[in-house]
Amino acid sequence: MDYSVAAVKMYVTHLKPAKPAKELTSNGGSAFAIGSLIFQRVWLQGVLVQESENTSLSLQDGTGVLPLQIGQEALKPGMYVLVVGAYLLGADGSPFLLVHKIVDLSSNPDRDTFWRLEVAEIHKLFYDKLMNASTH
């Protein structure tokens, strides 16, 4: 994992077309690609959900749900959190996020509005051109 590369700010729906990148990152780790945007880590924000008592937590951001792999922390469904982690595929090919950082933002009443504006701006300025570019 190349921690010197920033995590891309995304919505869960943005990650649907992600495919394993053909090239490896500078440290030899695997990466993913959406168009010509190559990444290893993502930054997401949303509400923690648990589909059943036996399952781990997932992140629901209003555009989709992504399972999380996190340690045993004092986290509860319903919390609004910021998560940063490695975007990976499980043995069955389904994506999940191996969480490196999680922050409870539940006490900030404007958290979701600001996040949506921030993601929209960064996509308009940077990511959209890369995500819509073809990789050859």
- What is the count of structural domains for the chain? 1
Residue 62 belongs to a domain? yes
Residue 34 belongs to a domain? yes
Q: Is the pLDDT of residue 136 over 50?
A: no
Structure tokens at 126: 């940077």
Residue 34 burial (C-beta neighbours within 10 Å; 0-12, 13-18, 19+): buried
Q: Above pLDDT 70, what percent of the chain?
A: 86
Rounded Cα–Cα distance for residues 33 and 107 (Å): 34
Instruction: Tell me the residue range of the domain where 107 lies.
Output: 8-131
Output the pLDDT for position 22: 75
pLDDT 10s digits, 65-118: 999 998 767 788 999 999 999 999 989 989 999 999 999 999 988 888 889 899
Rounded Cα–Cα distance for residues 95 and 47 (Å): 18
Q: State the average pLDDT over residues 44-64.
A: 88
Residue 31, domain CATH: 2.40.50.140
Output the pLDDT for position 102: 93
Residue 19 belongs to a domain? yes
Beta bridge mates, 45: 82
CA-based diameter of the chain, in Å? 45
Residue 99 belongs to a domain? yes
Residue 1 belongs to a domain? no
Residue 73 belongs to a domain? yes
Q: What angle do CA 13, 67, 77 make, to 5 degrees?
A: 105
